Chain A
Amino acid sequence: MKKRTLSILAAVAAALALMASACGGTPTASPTDGPTSSVSPTAGPTGLSRDPIEIKVFRSSDMSQGYTDTLFVDHIREKFGITLKYTYVPSSVATEKLNLSFATNTYDDMLELVSTGDVNRLAKDDFIVVLSDHLDKLSNYVNAYEPADWKLLVDTLSDARNRLYVLPVKEARNSSSSYIWMFRSAEFESVGKPVPKTVEELYDGLKALKAKNPNLTLPNRWGLFNALEGFNLAFRTRFEVWKDPDAGGQIVYGAVTDKFRDLLKYMHRLYAEDILSKEFITMTSEQRMSQFSKGNVYANFQFSGYESTLNRIAKAAGLPEDWTAEDDYLVLTAYPEKGPMQQRWPAFYTFGVALTDRLSGENLDRALEYVNWSCSEEGQIFHEFGVEGESYEIKDGRPVYIGKYLDEKDPDSYFGLIQDYGPFGYYVIQNEDHAALAYPGPARTNIILKDVEVMDYSALPYRFTPEEESRQADLGIVLNQIRDEYIQSFIMGPKDPGLDADWNEYLAKMQNAGLDEYMQILRDANARLG
């Protein structure tokens, strides 16, 4: 009798505890509501008091460390009662290994740092958990986005039934900025030319410097279209389809606009004057850097902070360290009345986290709880730095690694954080405050350029019908091929973008290849997303 009474009391207590925990849940967010303004990290019960579970994680990784460190896994086990069992797969073979694991039914519970394209492909076969059904449990992730960024994410990555399967890694806005112009200012001044603010000033300056140094060149970065980078911002245009603010935000095919023609005329002049390298299409990274080490480059469009690297190159080559990126000269313009533009990169990467159908019921809830916690302020710091006193300490208000972790990870490395995961690295959300400290160059550039108009580099999202998808793909291939041929021909000759006959011939070819139909399909498909 006594035993029975005790059992009943225990059951009632358990039921009450369950009700209490259900009432005290995490903040909720509906998929249609979008992000709210508050971020509420979930503390969660300690893992030691919960049934232990194991979650197998497939992680595409470039890690080089020996995975003997258990600080990370131990902490998660203690906090959530979850033992994370990682399979680290070199990123170069991640897709093959992923496909094989699903084909042989040996796939893991959680996929980390895998391509969003791979996840969406696997989702078609119902292997992947529909995360848009669980956004109320992922509020920290949702709330980390600005409403516009969140809409773009959902529009870009959801399937035709508006189902989201993957949480792409969110890059901190403070860790990246627009690329900027950097100059050897003293050299411009030495030939009586101002440090450029407009493309014409740049042209005049480079022409004068060419007279002084016949080997002067303007090396591009990795191919035809990268040669246009920087200049396209000055001319407020793009070679691809984008929303042009000068056309009232309408979707346009950039490469057939008058602004793009102006850009081509300018590039044609640079090429004709031998300022733009004759090898600009095929130039390798090494050939390009070689020109810097020979002192033949005077202007460069690169990511913020790169001027210090150029000065180190100059120093090593015995040249003056005269590269500068001055606040007033970070962007160029071709239309002073309209002003310059700066790049704005997508807020999220093309890889992220997904859960597979191996997880269900309580295990799925606990996995979601862990992911959501990792997006909280506490979780972000933990994933990036570990445990205070053990793997990092606060110095001058900034978390820095200590002990062996200091040697295993370079907090100042541009590539370090996202590539060198192990044993720590930011997970799904990169911490903004830390990014501001870790990347002072981009953070400062963002402040300087805060009033400069933005050119959004995110790919436009579309919702095609199956017929449209196939048709636009066919048209796009042909149109882009014609465009590429003509751009080369306009810059290098024999075509001259200044001649109406040549330009009209190009436009006519594009029209004949179905440009209007192509643009109509894209506009309709974009409009469906509201």
Chain B
Amino acid sequence: MIRERGIGSRIIDVVVYSMATMILMLTTFPLLNIVSTSISGNLPVLNGWVGIWPVQLNLEAYTRVFSNWLIPNAFINSVAYTVLSTGYSVLITLMMAYPMAKKHFVLRKAVWILLVITMYFNGGLIPTFLLVSQMGMYDSWMSQVFPLAIAIGNLILMRIFINNIPEELEESAKLDGAQDIQVFFRIVLPLIKPGIATIALYYAVWKWNDFFNPMIYFSTYERYPLTVILREIVLQGSHVDKFMSAAQRASQDASVYVEAYNTRLRYTALIVSIVPIVAVFPVLQRYFIKGVSEGAVKG
């Protein structure tokens, strides 16, 4: 039966849709402006002619960003650190969440309390730095993967997911002769895919955007991820040209419209940094929404 909607309900719909559209525009327009500016000519950028559409299409900034070793190298580093650390974090979060969800695990409460404490207190920067350094991870990719591998929020989320799996499923698998490890990988994991996708996205975004840890633990430019290099570009904006060779600098009108050219390069670098992580979201979206909503209402 389709219920007749009242005028009040329709007004609320109009208000809600209007507000949603407005918020969409407010968040989309700046992004479109950044994209358009990065692919517009220098003069339109300088004179503020660029809105949401590019003016005098010009891809020179992208060519320059990718023709210098520093940014592509940092990009590859970011991808590598994100993939490795996300994979590792997801794996050990799941392996920690599984016993934590089992009521018969004797030390469950004690371990859980220890874990939750780390949500509020941590070792502090200097002890952590010393620990990581003394374990030989300073200036190594390992410093981006192994320390800080578990986010307790994600652990809680996964525990809730695992708790929601009927005990009978696991019992029947065990009756068929499955070991705990088999139950975990063959029964539990397929049932919590939305949760895995959710925490994978959380971890990936965190690691991709992480500036502080790479800044602390790396000491060579070759190992820095994109976040550190981008910050350098943004903060040293007026000298962004230094990321280019002399031959590149001498070309075209870059040296004339230095301000506009620097802006375009900065925006290009921003686009390069956000596209990969934004691209991941549609792939995981289906699982992500399901995962977030299930994790939120059940427990």
* A residues whose Cβ falls under 8 Å from a Cβ of B: 62-64, 66-67, 87-93, 96-97, 100, 103-104, 106, 285-287, 289-290, 293-294, 309, 312-313, 315-317, 406-410, 413, 415-416, 419-420
Contacts and interface: CB of A to CB of B under 8 A. Distances in A.
**What is the interface of chain A mostly: helix, strand, loop, or mixed?**
helix
27 contacts: A64-B243, A88-B221, A92-B231, A92-B232, A93-B215, A93-B231, A96-B216, A97-B216, A100-B216, A104-B129, A104-B133, A289-B46, A289-B257, A290-B46, A290-B47, A293-B46, A313-B257, A315-B256, A316-B253, A407-B245, A407-B246, A409-B246, A413-B249, A415-B239, A415-B242, A419-B239, A420-B242
B232 A62 contact: yes
A90 B231 CA distance: 9
A90 B229 CA distance: 8
B263 A92 contact: no
A217 to B, nearest CB: 14
Contacts of B259: 285-286, 289
B228 A410 contact: no
Given A103-B126, A286-B46, A413-B246, 18 more contacts: A64-B68, A66-B221, A90-B231, A92-B235, A93-B215, A93-B228, A100-B129, A104-B133, A287-B48, A290-B46, A294-B47, A312-B253, A316-B43, A316-B256, A407-B245, A409-B246, A410-B246, A415-B242
B70 interface: yes
Given A87-B219, A103-B126, A293-B46, A316 B257 contact: yes
Nearest to B69: A66
B269 to A, nearest CB: 13
B277 to A, nearest CB: 22
A59 B138 CA distance: 18
Most buried by A among B46, B68, B126: B46
A413 B229 CA distance: 22
Contact of B219 (A64, A89, A285, A409): A89
A312 to B, nearest CB: 4
Given A316-B257, A407-B245, A419-B239, A90 B47 contact: no
Contacts of B69: 66
Most buried by B among A88, A97, A408, A410: A410
Contacts of A90: 221, 224, 228-229, 231-232
Interface in B65-92: 68-70
Nearest to A88: B221
A350 B60 CA distance: 36
B36 to A, nearest CB: 15
A62 B238 CA distance: 12
A17 B263 CA distance: 61
B182 interface: no
Contacts of B250: 410
A103 B250 CA distance: 44
A64 B70 contact: yes
Contacts of A294: 47
A315 B245 CA distance: 24
A299 to B, nearest CB: 20
Contacts of B47: 290, 293-294
Contacts of B253: 312, 316
B56 interface: no
Contacts of B245: 407-408
B222 interface: yes
Interface in B199-249: 215-216, 219-222, 224, 228-229, 231-232, 235-236, 238-239, 241-243, 245-247, 249
A406 B246 contact: yes
Given A92-B235, A93-B231, A103-B126, A63 B221 contact: yes
Contacts of B256: 309, 312-313, 315-316
Nearest to A103: B126
Contacts of B238: 285
B125 interface: yes
